[in-house]
């Protein structure tokens, strides 16, 4: 439903940020994403580009990669004066 409404004009860019193979057929990936062109959405209810991180557990299933678990989190800048303000996830 969301892809027919607030995300109908959106475009998403994905970039692999981290990869850890935990055994021969299971890996954990962190994928940074950027989405633009959407209606007001997200924690801040904004039309500005949104950024976030997907955490995926993937497995090799007979030569095909399969996502077996996924968690998606928007990343927001730390407020001014916050001790971690110098770190950026964008």
Domain boundaries, the chain: 2-74
pLDDT band at 90 (very low <50, low <70, confident <90, very high): low
Predicted structure pTM score: 0.78
pLDDT digits (tens, 9 = 90+) for 29-50: 999 999 999 999 888 888 999 9
Q: What are phi and psi of 75, to 5 degrees?
A: -110, 135
pLDDT at position 25, please? 95
pLDDT at position 89, please? 56
Question: For domain 2-74, which CATH number applies: 3.10.450.50, 3.40.640.10, 3.40.50.1370, 3.40.50.280?
Answer: 3.10.450.50
């Amino acid at each position: 439903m969301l892809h027919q409404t607030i995300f109908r004009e959106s475009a998403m860019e994905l970039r692999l940020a981290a990869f850890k193979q935990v055994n021969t057929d299971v890996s954990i990936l962190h994928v940074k994403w950027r989405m633009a062109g959407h209606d007001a959405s997200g924690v801040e209810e904004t039309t500005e580009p949104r950024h976030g991180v997907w955490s995926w557990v993937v497995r090799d299933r007979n030569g095909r990669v399969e996502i077996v678990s996924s968690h998606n989190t928007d990343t927001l800048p730390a407020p001014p004066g916050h001790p971690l303000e110098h770190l950026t996830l964008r």
